[in-house]
Structure 1
Amino acid sequence: MRKLVSLSILSVFVMSCASLKPNETTQAFAEEPIRYIDLTADSKMDLIERYWVVIKSADPKYPVDAARRGLSGCVDFIVAIDSNGTLSGFKIKKSYPEGVFDKSAAAALNRWKWSASKDNIENTPVLTTTQLNFMVSNSKNKAETEKQCDFSHI
């Protein structure tokens, strides 16, 4: 008899859960997706100043192995800045030499903070690009670094 009562109660509970519409259970947890303005195209790179200004940046730590080997390079990121001026995500667009500086550059980028410009009164989230450079004197890969990282001031 106890098993029958327990089974009946369990059946009623399961049926009541099954009768809920999907929106009734998921709506409370659904977040509105962030809509970013895409400023990643070369023609739009200068527009970032209309939206966000870097107020805190962090220099990346130079990987010891790369310094010993005399390697210079860069990591170019696609960066998502949310409405609070914080990094909400990133993707490595390109790095040279591939993988050598990625971890150090990402750790530094995670400490960056932005402030909305006076024109960005709605704190509009954006996607933009930024490049972190790694330069060592007497670089063994200077010529290739200048070419790959698009700078000549090593």
Structure 2
Amino acid sequence: MKNLLALITFVLISVSTSSEAKNIYADVQVTDVTPKSEYIWERANQNTPKYPVELARSGIRGCAVLSFNVSDSGETENIEILKSVPKKQLGKASRKMLKKWKWVPASTVGETQSEKRTLRLDFCMGGESTEQAQNACKQQTKLACN
């Protein structure tokens, strides 16, 4: 998507606690910090970014703002963590996730060139259903990430 919300979805993660498994509902939202009507690149895989297992096991939720370049060949480069709340661990996991993303031209018209992007990734967990986790994450995106 080329809108303010690039992706909204959920992931169900099972985390072992003691001798029984506990379902944790989680949601990851990706938002363009500086949305515009035309982007040169869009993510090749529009599936949901998976909530990092190490963050889920630690109960870490929050947001990260990352700046990066998409090269003229569609590779993610020069990733910089601008903000990471509440912990550096979230920023590092976000950078690792973003590093794997591949990009494809958003339009078949014109030549491709590199593009500077800034994205916010919100990581939310909790509630008793997927819908509750998604609603909590939608509310979180309205808050400042600082």
For the aligned pair, the TM-score class normalised by the smaller chain equals 0.5 to 0.7
- Matched to 1:63, the amino acid is E
State the TM-score, normalizing by the size of structure 1: 0.54
Moved more, 53-62 or 125-134: 53-62
CA distance in 1, matches of 2:43, 2:105: 9
State the TM-score, normalizing by the size of structure 2: 0.57
CA distance in 2, matches of 1:46, 1:83: 19
Give the drift of 1:41: 7.3
Q: Which has the higher helix share?
A: 1
User: What does 1:74-93 align with in structure 2 at a 5 Å threshold?
Assistant: 74-93=63-82
CA distance in 2, matches of 1:149, 1:41: 11
User: 1:132–1:46: structure 2 CA closer, same or farther, 3 Å change rule?
Assistant: same
Q: How many pairs does the alignment contain?
A: 103
What is the aligned partner in structure 2 of residue 61 from structure 1?
A: 52
Could you say what the CA RMSD is over the residues aligned between the two structures, in angstroms?
3.1
Moved more, 99-108 or 49-58: 49-58
Residue in structure 2 matching 1:73, options 62, 70, 75: 62
Instruction: Please list every run of 5 or more consecutive structure 1 residues that lacks an aligned counterpart in the other structure.
Output: 1-39
- Matched to 1:56, the amino acid is N
Q: Percent identity?
A: 21
SS in 2 for 1:46: coil
Give the drift of 1:72: 1.6
Larger radius of gyration: 1
Q: Which has the higher strand share?
A: 2
What is the aligned partner in structure 2 of residue 27 from structure 1?
A: none
Give the drift of 1:115: 0.6
User: What does 1:113-132 align with in structure 2 at a 5 Å threshold?
Assistant: 113-118=102-107, 121-132=110-121
Moved more, 87-96 or 54-63: 54-63
Instruction: Please list every run of 5 or more consecutive structure 2 residues that lacks an aligned counterpart in the other structure.
Output: 1-31, 128-132
Q: Which runs of 4+ in 1 moved over 3 A?
A: none
What is the aligned partner in structure 1 of residue 41 from structure 2?
A: 52
User: 1:117–1:61: structure 2 CA closer, same or farther, 3 Å change rule?
Assistant: same
